[in-house]
Homo-oligomer: A and B are copies of this chain.
């Protein structure tokens, strides 16, 4: 089956929202898509007709198994293209999202598979997010956000929870990227902020809000 760009964008947004909250409602999807609730309702009917959605009037909705497969293919394309843009074309990792939003809708399956091979079948995109394989399987990794790790332990930044340009700009300022080694020196009870030591840099302090969005992994 083939889908319009608009349909693919809705499917992808629903997928991301239901990853967080199980079931999705009209208003939150409208907010995510920068559109109006009425437009969402219209599209939901189309997606339901195409059996991509479990949806009943006024009740909320989520993707069917078919819908989930479609979503995972779009996510796969998005993340592979992001990897291409950063690794091959040397874009900054905080500049690639908008371009990948366009590239993810190129339809050729053979293109995706060849791109995957050309890139060396990467498992994670430049933001640390897992890249689904051609069957939609997602690699897993043991991840914790920075507020949950023991003091003094050295860990590796593996992804960021919020990819807004403002967040990415901030990380750049702190000199934090994927793969950066970090340890937490101190936790301040007053506002939850953390004093951290970034590899080869002087200790600094980050807010709880930032810390919650920095995911890391470490051995055992």
A172 at the interface (CB under 8 A from B): no
CB within 8 Å of B: which of A114-138? 114-115, 118
Instruction: Determine whether A173 belongs to the interface, using a CB cutoff of 8 Å to chain B.
Output: no
Beta-carbon contact of B106 and A91 below 8 Å: no
In the bound complex, residues from chain B placing their C-beta under 8 Å from that of A85 are 111
A102 touches B91 (CB 8 A): no
Query: With the chains together, A89 CA to B103 CA distance in Å?
Result: 16
Mark out the residues of chain A between 173 and 210 whose CB falls within 8 Å of any chain B CB in the assembled complex: none
Contact B103–A106 (Cβ < 8 Å): yes
Partner of A89, one of B95, B98, B107, B111: B111
Known: A89-B114, A91-B114, A98-B108. 16 other contacts (CB 8 A): A85-B111, A88-B118, A89-B111, A89-B115, A89-B118, A90-B114, A91-B110, A95-B110, A99-B106, A99-B108, A99-B111, A102-B106, A102-B107, A102-B108, A103-B103, A103-B106
Closest 7 CB pairs of A and B: A89-B114, A102-B106, A99-B108, A89-B118, A99-B111, A88-B118, A103-B106
Name A residues whose Cβ lies closer than 8 Å to a Cβ of B: 85, 88-91, 95, 98-99, 102-103, 106-108, 110-111, 114-115, 118
